[in-house]
Amino acid sequence: MVMRCALLACLVAAWAASPTASAFVFKAGGTGEWRVPAAGANATNAYNAWAQRNRFRVGDAIAFSYTAGNDSVLLVDKRSYDACDTGAPIDTFSDGSTVFTLTRSGPYYFISGSRDSCNRGEKLIVVVMADRSAVGNATEPGAGLAPSMSPNGPYSTYSPPPPFGINISPAAYPPPPSAAPPKVAGLADTAALAIGALFYALV
């Protein structure tokens, strides 16, 4: 009986420490609204000022909300980000509600689909913390991007190119103020396993 209870405790602890249990959806800029920042002394750097106040881990996601048909979100490389070049994005999102999952450590560059809006501050750099236990180096956006399930809400699911490279798992950490827990893939399977173990322990 003691051994069975110990097994159950180990299963629950393993689930709690898993990467999916610690992932969060951050609302871009703190509100999720993707638009030209309001005029002010720091308008052109408003999104990045918000990003610098947060800690992003592999498995987290960024939610963008905007008017479909009037704006879009472009995933670009650093050169295109610096120049607000909308001509050759790595990926384009234009449905109005987008959740982009951060699947690797390193920088991600986002700009508005409108070059004028980008020049006026509608752009964002998200730097994902490195996992010291992982082996390998971070890559540029577009290399190793993998899809994830969309969280509850009107956001769309991102389906990027097939992934390659390393699989990095983040450690658990307290949720920041602007974050909300996403819908976790595989949660049902884990719960079923834990319930089965509990039933086995009590028989």
Same domain as 33, residue 104: yes
Same domain as 201, residue 116: no
Same domain as 13, residue 41: no
The residue whose two tokens read 């405790």 is 9
Judge if pTM exceeds 0.75. no
Same domain as 190, residue 100: no
Res 134: pLDDT: 54
Indicate which CATH number applies to the domain containing 106: 2.60.40.420
pLDDT in 10s for each residue of the chain, 203 residues? 555 545 445 444 444 444 444 689 999 999 999 999 988 767 889 999 999 999 999 999 999 999 999 999 999 999 999 999 999 999 999 999 999 999 999 999 999 999 999 999 999 999 999 876 554 544 444 443 433 333 334 444 444 444 433 333 343 344 444 444 444 444 445 444 455 544 455 55
Res 57: pLDDT: 96
Res 44: pLDDT: 86
Same domain as 15, residue 80: no
Same domain as 53, residue 125: yes
Number of domains in the chain: 2
Same domain as 152, residue 67: yes
Cβ-count burial of 80 within 10 angstroms (0-12 exposed, 13-18 middle, 19+ buried)?
A: buried
Q: At what angle do helices 2-16 and 187-202 cross, to 10 degrees?
A: 170
Same domain as 154, residue 191: no
Same domain as 150, residue 123: yes
Cα 80 from Cα 88, distance rounded (Å): 8
Same domain as 167, residue 200: no
The residue whose two tokens read 């769309």 is 156
Cα 91 from Cα 69, distance rounded (Å): 16
Same domain as 60, residue 114: yes
Q: Are 5 and 201 in contact (CB under 8 A)?
A: yes
Q: Which domain holds residue 17?
A: 1-22+186-203
Same domain as 11, residue 74: no
